Amino acid sequence: MRVWIDQDLCTGDGLCVDHCHDVFTLLEDGIAYVVEDGEAQNDPGGSGSLAAVAPKHVESVIKAAEVCPGECIFIEIDAPVDADIDYDVDVRMAGRIDVRDDEAAA
């Protein structure tokens, strides 16, 4: 699973950091960014800042996306790799989750 934040939608509330500080951070501009290997991915407004989510953080990242008031957290799931993810998401999240099944497309 990978995650990114659309900084144009971020309200800077920091709820994502409260839910999973290992994956999200607030920078000096007051906007949230995803973190991978301890480094903030800062491609504002773009999915070029996809960060891999460790299995132990999957539930926290999904919960952070659900409670985000700016609805700016987007999740990408690789169906063949992430097949074991079993989590019911809020219906409002449906538009922010991209399930990729590249193996089936081949």
pLDDT value for 57: 93
pLDDT value for 88: 60
Residue ranges in the chain whose pLDDT is less than 70: 43-48, 79-100, 102-106
Cβ burial 69-95 (10 Å sphere, 16+ → b, else e): ebbbbbbbbbeeebeebeeeeeeebee
Instruction: Report whether 79 contacts 100 (CB < 8 A).
Output: yes
Write the pLDDT tens digit of every residue in 56-78: 998 899 899 989 999 999 988 77
| CATH of residue 59 | 3.30.70.20
Nearest to 72 by CA among 40, 54, 95: 95
Torsion of CA 31, 36, 41, 46, to 10 degrees: -90
- Judged by DSSP in three states, 43 sits in coil
pLDDT value for 46: 55
pLDDT value for 13: 94
Tally the domains of the chain: 1
Q: Which domain holds residue 63?
A: 2-105
Count the residues in the chain.
Answer: 106
